[in-house]
Homo-oligomer: A and B are copies of this chain.
Amino acid sequence: MSDLKISPLAPKTSPVLPELAGVRMATAQAGIKYAGRTDLLVMVFDQPTSVAGVFTTSKCSSAPVDWCRKALNSGKAAKALVVNAGNANAFTGVKGSAATDVTAKAMAVAAGCHEQEVYLASTGVIGEPLDAEKFAPLLSELTQKSDGDGWQLAAEAIMTTDTYPKLATSTFDIDGTSVTINGIAKGSGMIAPDMATMLSFVVTDAAIENELLQSLLSDLVGSTFNAITVDSDTSTSDTLMLFATGGADNEALSGGSLDQFKEELRGVLHNLSMQIVRDGEGATKEIEIHVTGAESDIAAKRIALSIANSPLVKTAVAGEDANWGRVVMAVGKAGEAADRDKLAIWFGDIRVAVAGERDPDYSEDAASDVMRRDEIKITADVGIGSGEARVWTCDLTKEYVAINGDYRS
User: B397 contacts A401, CB within 8 Å?
Assistant: yes
- What separation, in Å, do the CA atoms of A91 and B194 have in the docked complex? 40
Stretch among A102-110, A252-260, A307-315 lining the B interface: A307-315
Residue of B nearest to A338 (CB): B59
Q: Is A396 engaged at the interface, CB distance under 8 Å to the other chain? A: yes
Chain A interface, DSSP helix/strand/loop, else mixed: loop
**Chain B residues whose CB sits within 8 angstroms of the CB of A236 once the complex forms:** 328-329, 332
User: B59 contacts A332, CB within 8 Å?
Assistant: yes
User: A328 contacts B91, CB within 8 Å?
Assistant: yes
User: A321 contacts B409, CB within 8 Å?
Assistant: yes
Of the residues B127, B341, B408, contact of A93 by C-beta under 8 Å: B341
Copies of this chain in the oligomer = 2
Of the residues B127, B312, B335, contact of A194 by C-beta under 8 Å: B312
User: A231 contacts B356, CB within 8 Å?
Assistant: no
Task: Knowing A61-B332, A193-B328, say if A321 contacts B407 (CB, 8 Å).
Answer: yes
Complex A-B: 19 CB contacts under 8 Å? A58-B329, A60-B343, A91-B353, A91-B357, A91-B358, A92-B356, A126-B328, A127-B353, A232-B309, A235-B329, A236-B332, A311-B404, A315-B401, A316-B407, A319-B409, A323-B407, A323-B408, A398-B405, A401-B401
Q: Knowing that A90-B328, A192-B312, A193-B326 touch, tell me 14 more A-B residue pairs with CB under 8 angstroms.
A: A56-B332, A57-B335, A58-B332, A59-B333, A60-B331, A126-B328, A127-B324, A194-B312, A231-B311, A231-B312, A311-B311, A311-B404, A318-B401, A319-B405
Interface residues, chain A, CB within 8 Å of chain B?
56-61, 90-93, 95-96, 125-129, 189, 191-194, 231-236, 309-312, 315-316, 318-321, 323-326, 328-338, 340-341, 343, 353, 355-358, 396-398, 400-402, 404-409
